[in-house]
Structure 1
Amino acid sequence: MTANRNRFRPINRPVFHHTTFATLKLDEMVEFYEKVAGLESVFHGDSGAWLTNDAANHRIALLALPGLIAPEDKGHATGLHHTAFEYDDFDAWVDNYERLATEGIEPFMSLDHGMTMSMYYQDPEGNGVEIQVDNFGDWSRSKEYMWASQDFSDNPIGEFFDPEKVAAERADGLDHEEIHRRAMAGSYRPEVVPDVHLPELW
């Protein structure tokens, strides 16, 4: 019998469950993720917290380990750049931006990637947090766009946009599809295009 040599990945694949961060700012991190992505503590103690915003027992774990030290040049170091959360409704996504803005929580950059419109925030430890909405409303279609589109191949980062301009256009009655089209055409480009590196907080 010939052995199957094409076992590059498991047939029965696990699904992604959670991300864990070591933190010097446990309570601030819990408060941030509650405000920005609606996560609530399943358990919040002195040495850690476990948070979820769906049926899972936790999606983010925060460990306040002894002996932790602050990172150096975190915004330009290798490692995790950001985690992402997705709204399935464009209006809810814009509403979330406006709610956070009233509390002084603003994204450090916003990009229309083609398959998603995404706003990037920064947690108290300097980790990126993406809040996105799928432009197709269908993962199979957005996946096909990434796989087959010449536009995505030519420009996988996408186009920067000013979220205030997007919110204003939504208030004027434009829908998701038209705002996405205009964003990709550069109509909402900010006056100062931000750096895609994480801003250095430490």
Structure 2
Amino acid sequence: MVSYYRVFLGAKVVHENSMLAFLSYDDEHHRIAIEALPSVKDKQQKHNRGLEHIAFTFNTLSDLLLAYRQRKQHNILSLWSVNHGPTTLIYYEDPDGNQLETQVDNFANPDDATVFMESKEFMENPIGVDFDPEEFIERLRQGEDERVLCKRLAIRPRGLPEHMR
């Protein structure tokens, strides 16, 4: 698990022994601790109690897509890419089945995101609109503005994707 998160986060191992590892990806002494405790058992099934997801926010859509490409080069493949409205996200799953959300905020301030979440459009479709990261990378390369790509398209209501059921 340490090597997975080292690659996924581009992190460095600050300390590691047989039971514990601390990782950091910025100036903080550590951002994540991973324990290998003998009393902890492997997850038996998906959607059980415990950790549901961890979210990592990027400053720009370009940064989010760069991380997507870097992970893909290490065979860490995305599970789902969606614009929920307030955020544009690329989801992953770690080797234990924990969901990892990587996201960028679509609104300049939280109040605007809250207004959108109170809108009829969001009430009709709180799940969002899927997107193809490779297409977005190409559109950015061709000079399209990030704000255009981060604006959620209006579509009819939809259910959860298969991997979340």
TM-score (norm 1): 0.69
* Mapped contact 2:6–2:12 kept (Cα < 8 A): yes
* Mapped contact 2:93–2:100 kept (Cα < 8 A): yes
Residue by residue over 1:35-81, the C-alpha shift from the partner in whole angstroms, topping out at 9 and shown as x without a partner, is 2223332321110112233444332221100133221112x324332
Question: Matches of 1:55 and 1:171 in 2, distance apart?
Answer: 30
The partner residue of 1:97 within 49, 54, 68 is 68
Question: Matches of 1:140 and 1:45 in 2, distance apart?
Answer: 44
* Mapped contact 1:88–1:137 kept (Cα < 8 A): no
Q: Which residue of 2 aligns with 1:184?
A: 153
Q: Which residue of 1 aligns with 2:18?
A: 46
The CA deviation at 1:117 is 0.6
Which amino acid is 1:184 matched to? L
Partner SS, residue 79 of structure 1: coil
Q: For residues 58 and 109 of structure 1, do their structure 2 counterparts lie closer, same or farther at Cα, with a shift above 3 Å needed?
A: same
The CA deviation at 1:196 is 4.1
Q: Which residue of 1 aligns with 2:55?
A: 84
* Mapped contact 2:106–2:150 kept (Cα < 8 A): yes
RMSD between aligned residues: 2.3
Residue by residue over 1:83-111, the C-alpha shift from the partner in whole angstroms, topping out at 9 and shown as x without a partner, is 01011112111111122222222111111
Question: Matches of 1:122 and 1:88 in 2, distance apart?
Answer: 22
> What is the count of residue pairs matched by the alignment?
161
Q: Which residue of 2 aligns with 1:197?
A: 164
Q: Which residue of 2 aligns with 1:118?
A: 89
Q: Which residue of 1 aligns with 2:80?
A: 109
Q: Which residue of 2 aligns with 1:171?
A: 141
Structure 2 residues without counterparts, runs of 5 or longer: none
Q: Which residue of 2 aligns with 1:11?
A: none
The partner residue of 2:6 within 26, 34, 40 is 34
Partner SS, residue 162 of structure 2: coil
Partner SS, residue 105 of structure 1: coil
Which has the greater radius of gyration?
A: 1
- What percentage of aligned pairs have identical amino acids? 34
Which amino acid is 1:96 matched to? A
| Residue 110 (structure 2) pairs with residue 139 (structure 1) | yes
Q: Which residue of 1 aligns with 2:38?
A: 66
Which amino acid is 1:127 matched to? N
The partner residue of 2:125 within 126, 134, 155 is 155
